[in-house]
Structure formats: structure tokens, C-alpha cells
Amino acid sequence: TTKYPPSLIIYDLKTDNLLRKYVFPEDQVKQDSGFANIAVEDTDCDKTYAYAGDLGKPAIVVYSWEKNDSWRITHHYFNPDPLACDFSVKGHNFSWTDAIFGLGLSAPNADNFSTLYFHPMASYNEFSVSTEYLRNQTVADDNFDAFKLLGSRGPNAQSSVSFVDRKTGVLFYSLVNLNAVACWRTSNNKYLMKNQGRIYMNEETMVYPTDIKVDYEDNLWILSNRLPIWMYGKLDLNEVNFRVFSAPVVHAISHTACDITPRSDILEKFVNKAKNITKDIVAKVKPNSSTTTKPITVLLTLSCLVRFLAT
């Protein structure tokens, strides 16, 4: 019996009144269970669902507000990758076998189901599943292939927390070994390294990004806390060890692979660069007669394109 069993505690944020406390049943909490993150699907208040990832004994515990009941779902995609268990943060090398950790919910589709993007912390890969299959344990067990492998973040790119901005559809996630926060546009059909962007990376200020959220005013919030240094070394009290970062989402993803705004400035830059190159060439090439004008014009156009593409 767990002395202090994991619980969901739900408050009314307008009144601070406790609405409900739900204790996870004993058969859904295993030895070494640990629930580090939770994603809440609340577009319909009466049909709200919570998804809690168990990083100690790989599983998702799904809770239904309407039924006031929960169930435990397992899948091998929740498990840690034995080839991705080595971590290194600020000179501290350690091995962690944390299972499913990052959870991010998309905006609902026409049928009012969301996509849950998830990954184990000890993994380089990202996965997804529709909440249609999570809202019923039998349906989840009978649809093993509904869980999808999206792709890899690349070497040394283990991630802890993640969050989907439902307005832009951008998935934000930490890169704990790289002291960075990255992103991927979920509207992109391919989860490839070239389609992922780095929005912030710093070996001093972004050591161990540990939480990511987007608020109702479209601001991105990131917390870093240097946890591995505290666990395997000693925090320097003369340094800043805990930081909170914030930026508007559109600014954070600007000029990255996740950018969603039309980049008219890029076209303007191309046109201006072509004009400048043309002026330089015209200044050097002075045709003696009108018969040479047309070939030189073609040559100038080709030269502009070649030089622009080469830079």
C-alpha cells in the first residue's frame, strides 16, 4: 500500500475552492511509479480528461471527470530506449531510465478528439496517438497500431517536458543534454531534424529546462532549475540556479523551422540583393552598342541568380 498515493486535486481558480480530489486506485500505482507530468483535455468542461504519464512503470493513467474514474494504459512506445539513457549536464554524467515524460495535446479535431504527442525522457523519438483511443481502455488495448512513431530528434537529443500551443499548432520541447528548447510544427507531415527549430540555447541560463507552458495570452513560459547539478554536485548559492523565461509564441518561433508567419521580409531581401548585384555588374560591364544589350541582360539575370544561390 502506498502511504501517500498520487492524487488529482482540482480547484476552481476563480474562487480557490477545492472541487474534487481523486486518489489513483492502488492497482494503477505500481512500485517505482512516478507521475511527473499531466496533460489536460478540457475543451468540453463536463467531458474533461487528464492524462498522467508514469515514468517509473511505463504507462498513462487516464482520468475522466464525467465518470470520476481512471484506467491504466500501457504500450511499448512508453518505455525508455536503452541506447538513450546516458545524460550529461554541466559536466555531470549520469544514467536515467525515465519512461514516458513529455506530454502535449493538440487542439481538438472536428470529432472533438485531440492528438497526444508524447515521448519517454530516455529516448530520441517522438510518438503520437489520438485521444479517441485513450478515452476507453478496451479501445486502446484493441488498437495497438493507433500509436504512431513520428521520428527522431537526432543524437544527444533526449527531451523531458513538452507542450503544444493549440493556436499555432507548434510543439515545444526541452533538450536537456543540449541546454536548449526546440520546436516542431505539428502541421508538418514529417518529423525530421531539418523540420525542427531551436528557439533558445544557452549553457549558462538554460541548464536543464524542466517545464514548458503556453498561457491564454499566447506567451511561452519556460522554467530551468539545474536539477542534475543539485543531485550529483552542489548548487552554488552565489549563482542564479532557477530561471523563468517568457516570450510571445510568435516571437519565439520567428525565423525558425516552426515559423508560421508569411516571410515577406525574405522576398524583400532577395529582391534587394538581386538589385545590388545587378548594379555592381552594370557598373563593371559597359556595352559599346545596342546590339549587345540583350545578351548582357540575360547574362546579368543568370549571374544574379547564381551568386544569390551561392551565398
Residue recorded with cell 527522431: 152
CATH topology of domain 7-252: Neuraminidase (2.120.10)
| Rounded-to-integer distance, Cα 79 and Cα 234, Å | 30
For 164, phi and psi rounded to 5 degrees?
-105, 125
Letter for the amino acid at 5?
A: P
Residue 292's pLDDT is: 47
pLDDT at 311: 43
Predicted local distance difference test score (pLDDT) of residue 286: 59
Q: DSSP secondary-structure letter at 78?
A: G
What is the residue extent of each domain of the chain?
Answer: 7-252, 264-310
Burial label, 136 (beta-carbon count in 10 A; 0-12, 13-18, 19+): middle
Separation CA 54–CA 105 (nearest Å):
17
pLDDT of the chain, 311 residues: tens digit per residue? 678 889 999 999 999 999 999 999 999 999 999 999 999 999 888 999 999 999 999 999 999 999 999 999 999 999 999 999 999 999 999 999 999 999 999 999 999 999 999 999 999 999 999 999 999 999 999 999 999 999 999 999 999 999 999 999 999 999 999 999 999 999 998 999 999 999 999 999 999 999 999 999 999 999 999 999 999 999 999 999 999 999 999 999 999 999 988 766 555 666 677 777 777 776 766 555 444 444 444 444 434 444 444 44
Lookup: cell for 248: 510571445
Question: Residue with C-alpha cell 559599346?
Answer: 288
E-state strands within the chain? 7-12, 17-23, 35-41, 49-54, 59-64, 69-73, 86-89, 92-95, 100-105, 115-120, 125-130, 148-152, 162-165, 170-175, 180-185, 196-201, 209-214, 219-224, 243-248
